[in-house]
Amino acid sequence: MEIANPSNTKDILSKHNLQLKKSLGQNFLIDNNILNKIVETAELTEDDTVIEIGPGIGSLTQKMAETGAKVIAIELDNRLIPVLKESLNVYNNIEIVHGDALDVDFSELVDGSFKLVANLPYYITTPIIMRLLEEGFDVEKIVVMIQKEVGERMVASPGGKDYGVLSIGVQYHSNPEIAFVVPPTVFIPQPKVESVVMDLKVKEEQNLEVLDEEFFFKVVKSAFHQRRKTIRNSLSKAPYLNLNRDLIDQALEEVGIDPRRRAEKLSIETFAQLSNALFNLTGGE
Ligand code: SAM
């Protein structure tokens, strides 16, 4: 049964008397072409286990199951669980889990590595992606539909307004790419903004030399806290660190950073060197 088309999606929703909830980010995909492109980007094979966040009525879930991959779909809205069970009951490689993707322990659901593929509810885009990247889950690839503006920040390079804590957080853990842009017209209801499908290839090994990861991210967050300020000023007034100006000047000099530069001009590699220098000078205190 083809469930990703406008009339079928509307029929399923009205049959189950379902009003979509904006608060749960319920914008359902109704375009088969886009669903196929998401599955292609995920490069699924029957050896893969995929976790899907927010299957909705199961359009993407079904496409992914057809590749032979094992699909574990986590849905928060309890009204959708019987709908999913009914529409997907012909597949024996789909497991439906009722839960909140922000709390679920993914490692309890999967034995070994997995891919994460989802048309994400946009209100949890950043927390869910950062949770997957930071909490050490065995995730090899993340293919997600998100707001275009957030995707642009993830892939941004130093120098522009999009570059910031999110760019560094995502690029520290993965090699992110915008796979393709998606217009609002392929959803019911249509969102106000354009979307993109992101392809984040999670790094198997860290290629940056960082002495202390937690300290590194405190330095990055502090540096961008007031992004119009110079790196020297933002580090000295940062809420996440307690550094005196002499130490900051010493570290900046050691690494060869002009104290008048702004955080948005510094590459991840430079941030790594700076945080290592500060860590050595302060002992991470
Ligand atoms: N996958 C479907 C599609 O592409 O048509 C639906 C995508 S819709 C953008 C997001 C889905 O995520 C909704 O079904 C919503 O109920 C669900 N959702 C929202 N918050 C969630 C959470 N915290 N954990 C799991 N699912 C959630």
Residue closest via CA to ligand 1's atom 17 equals: 54
At residue 260, the pLDDT reads: 94
pTM for the model stands at: 0.95
Of the candidates 222, 276, 271, 278, the residue with the CA atom closest to the CA atom of residue 247 = 278
At residue 114, the pLDDT reads: 98
ipTM > 0.95 (yes/no):
yes
Distance 137 CA to ligand 1 centre (A): 21
At residue 239, the pLDDT reads: 77
Torsion from C-alpha of 85, 88, 94, 95, nearest 10 degrees: -10
Count other C-beta atoms under 10 Å from residue 46's C-beta: 9
Q: Which residues of 87-97 are buried (b: 16+ CB within 10 A; e: fewer)?
A: bbeeeebbebb
At residue 1, the pLDDT reads: 57
Confirm or reject: Cβ of 187 under 6 Å from ligand 1.
no
Q: Could you list the residues known to form a binding site for S-adenosyl-L-methionine, using ranges.
A: 27, 29, 54, 75, 100, 119
Could you tell me the domains of the chain? 6-202 (3.40.50.150), 213-282 (1.10.8.100)
At residue 2, the pLDDT reads: 66
At residue 50, the pLDDT reads: 98
Strands 114-119 and 28-29: unpaired
At residue 226, the pLDDT reads: 84
Is the Cβ–Cβ distance between 174 and 115 less than 8 Å? no
At residue 194, the pLDDT reads: 97
Is the Cβ–Cβ distance between 94 and 66 less than 8 Å? no
Distance 75 CA to ligand 1 centre (A): 6
Confirm or reject: Cβ of 59 under 6 Å from ligand 1.
yes
Distance 22 CA to ligand 1 centre (A): 10
- Tens digit of pLDDT at every position of the chain (285 positions): 567 677 788 888 889 999 999 999 999 999 999 999 999 999 999 999 999 999 999 999 999 999 999 999 999 999 999 999 998 999 999 999 999 999 999 999 999 999 999 999 999 999 999 999 999 899 999 999 999 999 999 999 999 899 999 999 999 999 999 999 999 999 999 999 999 999 999 999 988 999 999 999 999 999 998 888 999 999 988 778 888 899 999 999 999 999 999 999 999 999 999 999 999 998 766
Confirm or reject: Cβ of 117 under 6 Å from ligand 1.
no
At residue 243, the pLDDT reads: 86
Radius of gyration of the chain (CA): 21
Confirm or reject: Cβ of 176 under 6 Å from ligand 1.
no
Confirm or reject: Cβ of 102 under 6 Å from ligand 1.
yes
Cα separation, 75 vs 82, whole angstroms: 11
At residue 238, the pLDDT reads: 78
Q: Half-sphere exposure of 47 toward its Cβ, with a 13 Å CA cutoff?
A: 3
Confirm or reject: Cβ of 186 under 6 Å from ligand 1.
no
